[in-house]
Chains A and B, each alone.
Chain A
């Protein structure tokens, strides 16, 4: 069942169309990737989900019911452009945001202590935000986002500003939150993390949805005509009328070859050709990375 759904969302800013009949459906307890190049309309959609702005037309549903203003209490949002009051103390500030999300002071305090200890930032409680490093501030912001245990979490580029160690910590926290029942909408340009984390994606470009589905399906779909051959030893294969070689590299006494067929040739024929050329170690359909798919899809439209 879908925890969150947006149907035919349209939004105009004067003459500019930011979103044109965009629909998304986020299954419960999944991680959903909202992808797209800069200026595609992702932030506008996220702001509409957060009820920061309203759509011109279209409908939003949370747990099957129409989204209402009280629902902000069960949504957690980490914006891309994040910020804290620089002159305010860390703990005080975290309490303030928790209270804005409807937590009582004592409950907020209890949960903050837990999270601050977990992320190892408890020593910074009484410091002013401007004294913290960027990564520290990001951690504080992460805690603020998840503190009220929202059912729907929205992260806009959550890993920018983190070093690899902290990126991993946050990644694990996101997975842990999903385990405990949260649903995550995740907007990023980092396709590596999309492959790693996301179950489903929607790719938006120029206000329109241009690709959607589960990550595995999409990758298989795009892999239809691509294969990867691994040979023992140093092998060279020439392309023919039925397939072309897209990549040929040698590694630890092996040769890895990527090839693309024209579509009128079966896997057996490819293997036959391959077997003639040398000792085949493995033969697989090559899954394109999300990065490649992203670039190809977006460039094809331009």
Chain B
């Protein structure tokens, strides 16, 4: 076994066998699944919590049966009831609350009160507000005495949904969804940021550990410092990949189990059916979708449309680019982190060096978020070219489509830069790991770069 693989093995095994690693690896997907699952359950459970609301007015019946019942609440209009009588007894009578509409509501918008013991859900309030607004609008319009008002209103009502269609260089037309592209951009940009930052700083801590425990001098008498550095960087990268893979598999498994057991009866199965349909070949899929659009609910049609446009993303390109930028970006930052770790005596001293390294990463993340709003901005363009920010910004730009020449230039710059950084970091590292008790500065590190052998 070559020396570097012995080092990679140790770096990998000691980390993977740590209790904290095992706990995090198992716990994170559970938390992730909970994050996705709990809101769904909460939403479904709300349906069961049926509310009855008493609607009363003072000396008028303008709003009789105006508010339609929903899945969550029935609205019972009580004629001749007095608010003061009901205030104390509504709970015993089985009501969730009282909706009190005062007669001056037409002119005073806040003349409506919902009296209840609990904080009412926002959906309920919106429903009440919308219904009453509409009613008041209609009543106001009627006051103008326009002929055929109903017909005019019907004609005026319009609904608009913009379909985005992109034509690529070869003239092929594809239906795209900005929503999907945005989600994809956000996930890949943020994931890249997390991976580079978390595992990069693990490299730094590893280097500091070796330096402070003085174990480094024994090792570099057996292997070249650059081998130790690269062994550590690669070993930790493998730890990262392992954790990431386990997370993906576990999260999917947990979601699958929950879906089949808990959400079985709900309309989630309906969605999953449409998902399976989308996994079929395009011809079949088109046939089925067109056949289905008439039957399925509008929400489901929307989901199907989204899935269609998700399928239209250049997945191969995105995944390959992501892996490329992860490897080169991680190597670039990990080597900077390794150099910093070698230059300090303990972790608290790293702070002065961390700032200049953190700034480009944070900047890249901010630009990546901006990219979602405006993928073609020149800031996004330049940041996806500059190697310190390009791993995060470029993966965020990719779902919106990037010209190949830009991708090629960015990747080329990335390769050249990461090799230069690894080379420089190795030089700083080599000197730094054997230096003790001296406060290091950037200037000092620059000097180390020029030391011979």
Q: Name A residues whose Cβ lies closer than 8 Å to a Cβ of B.
A: 13-14, 47, 50-56, 69, 72, 75, 77, 79, 81-88, 96-97, 99-102, 141, 144
In the assembled complex, the CB of A110 is this many whole angstroms from the nearest CB of chain B, namely 17
In the assembled complex, the CB of A126 is this many whole angstroms from the nearest CB of chain B, namely 14
Give the size range of B's interface with the partner: 20 to 34
Given known contacts A100-B3, A100-B6, A50 and B221 CB-to-CB distance under 8 angstroms? yes
Contact of A54 among B6, B215, B222, B452 (CB under 8 A): B452
Interface residues of B in 202-223 (CB under 8 A from A): 209-210, 213-223
In the assembled complex, the CB of A275 is this many whole angstroms from the nearest CB of chain B, namely 59
Given known contacts A54-B453, A97-B222, A100-B223, A81 and B6 CB-to-CB distance under 8 angstroms? no
B404 within 8 A of A: no
B209, B215, B221: which has the most chain A beta carbons within 10 Å?
B221
B355 within 8 A of A: no
Q: Compute how far the CA of A79 lies from the CA of B217 in the bound complex, rounded to whole angstroms.
A: 7
Q: Compute how far the CA of A83 lies from the CA of B149 in the bound complex, rounded to whole angstroms.
A: 90
Q: Are A72 and B221 closer than 8 Å at their CB atoms?
A: yes
Q: Are B218 and A96 closer than 8 Å at their CB atoms?
A: no
What residues of B have a CB within 8 angstroms of the CB of A83 in the complex? 213-218
Q: Compute how far the CA of A136 lies from the CA of B14 in the bound complex, rounded to whole angstroms.
A: 22
Q: Are B213 and A84 closer than 8 Å at their CB atoms?
A: yes
B1 within 8 A of A: yes
In the assembled complex, the CB of B449 is this many whole angstroms from the nearest CB of chain A, namely 12
Q: Are B14 and A97 closer than 8 Å at their CB atoms?
A: no
Given known contacts A87-B14, A88-B14, A100 and B222 CB-to-CB distance under 8 angstroms? yes
Q: Are B451 and A13 closer than 8 Å at their CB atoms?
A: yes
Q: Compute how far the CA of A88 lies from the CA of B218 in the bound complex, rounded to whole angstroms.
A: 15
Q: Compute how far the CA of A69 lies from the CA of B227 in the bound complex, rounded to whole angstroms.
A: 13
A interface, over-half SS: loop
Interface residues of B in 90-141 (CB under 8 A from A): none
What are 15 A-B residue pairs whose CB atoms fall within 8 Å in the complex? A54-B452, A77-B218, A82-B218, A85-B14, A86-B213, A88-B14, A96-B6, A96-B10, A97-B218, A99-B3, A100-B3, A100-B223, A101-B222, A102-B3, A141-B218
B217, B224, B453: which has the most chain A beta carbons within 10 Å?
B217
Contact of B219 among A14, A53, A100 (CB under 8 A): A100
B7 within 8 A of A: yes
B434 within 8 A of A: yes
What residues of B have a CB within 8 angstroms of the CB of A14 in the complex? 447
Q: Are A53 and B218 closer than 8 Å at their CB atoms?
A: no
What residues of A have a CB within 8 angstroms of the CB of B6 in the complex? 96, 99-100
Q: Are A75 and B221 closer than 8 Å at their CB atoms?
A: yes
Q: Name B residues whose Cβ lies closer than 8 Å to a Cβ of A.
A: 1, 3, 6-7, 10, 14, 209-210, 213-225, 430, 434, 436, 447, 451-453
Q: Compute how far the CA of A99 lies from the CA of B7 in the bound complex, rounded to whole angstroms.
A: 9
What residues of A have a CB within 8 angstroms of the CB of B210 in the complex? 85
Closest to B225 in A: A52
B10, B210, B214, B447: which has the most chain A beta carbons within 10 Å?
B10
Q: Are B214 and A79 closer than 8 Å at their CB atoms?
A: yes
The 4 A-B residue pairs with the shortest CB-CB distance in the complex, in nearest-first order:
A54-B453, A83-B214, A100-B222, A83-B215
In the assembled complex, the CB of B217 is this many whole angstroms from the nearest CB of chain A, namely 4
Q: Compute how far the CA of A208 lies from the CA of B7 in the bound complex, rounded to whole angstroms.
A: 38
Q: Compute how far the CA of A295 lies from the CA of B424 in the bound complex, rounded to whole angstroms.
A: 43
Q: Compute how far the CA of A51 lies from the CA of B436 in the bound complex, rounded to whole angstroms.
A: 19
Q: Are B14 and A52 closer than 8 Å at their CB atoms?
A: no
Q: Are A84 and B3 closer than 8 Å at their CB atoms?
A: no
In the assembled complex, the CB of A30 is this many whole angstroms from the nearest CB of chain B, namely 21
Closest to B222 in A: A100
Q: Compute how far the CA of A299 lies from the CA of B447 in the bound complex, rounded to whole angstroms.
A: 34
Q: Compute how far the CA of A79 lies from the CA of B209 in the bound complex, rounded to whole angstroms.
A: 17
What residues of A have a CB within 8 angstroms of the CB of B434 in the complex? 47, 52-53
Given A56-B452, A85-B14, output 17 extra A-B contacts at Cβ < 8 Å.
A14-B447, A47-B434, A50-B220, A53-B453, A54-B452, A69-B224, A72-B221, A77-B218, A77-B221, A81-B217, A83-B214, A83-B218, A84-B215, A85-B213, A99-B6, A100-B222, A100-B223
B10, B210, B218, B447: which has the most chain A beta carbons within 10 Å?
B218
Q: Are A100 and B217 closer than 8 Å at their CB atoms?
A: no
Q: Compute how far the CA of A302 lies from the CA of B222 in the bound complex, rounded to whole angstroms.
A: 38
What residues of A have a CB within 8 angstroms of the CB of B430 in the complex? 53
What residues of A have a CB within 8 angstroms of the CB of B1 in the complex? 99
Q: Compute how far the CA of A53 lies from the CA of B434 in the bound complex, rounded to whole angstroms.
A: 10
Q: Compute how far the CA of A77 lies from the CA of B215 in the bound complex, rounded to whole angstroms.
A: 12
Q: Compute how far the CA of A81 lies from the CA of B7 in the bound complex, rounded to whole angstroms.
A: 21
Given known contacts A52-B434, A99-B6, A72 and B222 CB-to-CB distance under 8 angstroms? yes
In the assembled complex, the CB of B276 is this many whole angstroms from the nearest CB of chain A, namely 48
What residues of B have a CB within 8 angstroms of the CB of A75 in the complex? 221
Q: Compute how far the CA of A101 lies from the CA of B3 in the bound complex, rounded to whole angstroms.
A: 8
Given known contacts A13-B451, A100-B6, A52 and B221 CB-to-CB distance under 8 angstroms? yes
Q: Are A85 and B3 closer than 8 Å at their CB atoms?
A: no
In the assembled complex, the CB of A84 is this many whole angstroms from the nearest CB of chain B, namely 6
